[in-house]
């Protein structure tokens, strides 16, 4: 009977620590965040200043430019700098979590060995304390992943805003009054593709983006006075 109890306790401990390992594996995939963000749709269309006209004026003929938005977001120096920073941070987080996971495994093994010498009450107390520690580590893994997601999204938004600025500038220079992503077009002439021009100007305007350590805390809401 004691052997059966030990086996159950061991399986419970392995399951508990396994949850931490599973979450750590999710954190390990954080490097794909920027790449996944590349699949998001381009920013909402922005009106060019020169195309804003009164309602009574005749609409101009469309002069269309094309950009490969995903290529820009993938190949620009700014996006590359974000990926590099996220990868470094992800590896540091993963190393920290791996150490905590190993410590939990060792604690679990030690607790199982104490099962035969501790009273049920004492063993139950130690088991609850151990599970609380596991829960804290799980919470830490989830929080790290959430923070990494948030700061990466903010950094990529800086790139998107710079893309809009560069595309607007080039549209004015080249006489385009409409610029659309190539993913929405079946056939187009390479002569209206301004992707490389956008990449060149974007790299000059925004060669890198600093990924914040964390987002600023929101100010606490003041309670209305009675």
51 within domain boundaries: no
With respect to residue 155, please indicate whether it lies within any of the assigned structural domains: yes
* Count of domains forming the chain: 1
pLDDT, tens only, 100-110: 999 999 999 99
Per-residue pLDDT band at 38 (split at 50, 70, 90): very low
Residue 222 lies in a domain: no
Name the pLDDT band for 58 (thresholds 50, 70, 90): confident
Q: How confident is the model at residue 3 (pLDDT cuts 50, 70, 90)?
A: very low
In a domain, 73, yes or no: yes
Cβ neighbours of residue 90 under 8 Å, at least 6 residues apart? Answer: 27, 28, 30, 31, 148
Give the mean pLDDT of 58-77. Answer: 91
Q: Report the SS3 class of residue 193.
A: strand
Q: Which two tokens stand for residue 74?
A: 């993938």
Share of the chain above pLDDT 70, in %: 70
| H helix intervals, the chain | 2-28, 33-37, 69-75, 77-113, 120-174, 195-205
Q: Is residue 149 within 8 Å of 33, Cβ to Cβ?
A: yes
The answer as to whether 221 is a domain residue is no
Q: Does 56 reside within a domain?
A: no
pTM value surpassing 0.85: no
Query: Quick check: is 25 in a domain?
Result: yes
- Report yes or no on 212 lying in a domain: no
């Amino acid at each position: 009977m004691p052997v059966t109890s030990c086996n159950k306790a061991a399986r419970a401990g392995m399951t508990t620590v396994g949850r931490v390992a599973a979450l750590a594996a999710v954190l390990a995939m954080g490097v794909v965040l920027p790449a996944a963000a590349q699949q998001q749709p381009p920013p909402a269309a922005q009106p060019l200043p020169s195309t804003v006209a009164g309602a009574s004026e005749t609409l101009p003929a469309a002069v269309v430019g094309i950009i490969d938005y995903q290529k820009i977001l993938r190949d620009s120096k700014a996006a590359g700098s974000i990926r590099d920073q996220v990868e470094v941070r992800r590896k540091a987080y993963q190393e920290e979590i791996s150490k905590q996971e190993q410590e939990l495994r060792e604690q679990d093994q030690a607790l199982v060995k104490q099962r035969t010498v501790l009273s049920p009450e004492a063993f139950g107390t130690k088991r609850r304390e151990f599970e609380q520690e596991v829960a804290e580590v799980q919470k830490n893994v989830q929080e790290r992943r959430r923070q990494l997601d948030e700061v990466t999204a903010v950094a990529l938004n800086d790139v998107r805003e710079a893309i809009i600025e560069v595309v607007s500038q080039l549209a004015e220079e080249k006489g385009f009054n409409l610029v659309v992503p190539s993913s929405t077009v079946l056939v187009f002439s390479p002569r209206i593709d301004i992707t490389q021009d956008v990449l060149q100007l974007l790299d000059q305007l925004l060669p890198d983006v600093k990924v914040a350590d964390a987002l600023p805390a929101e100010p606490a809401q003041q309670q209305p006075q009675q």
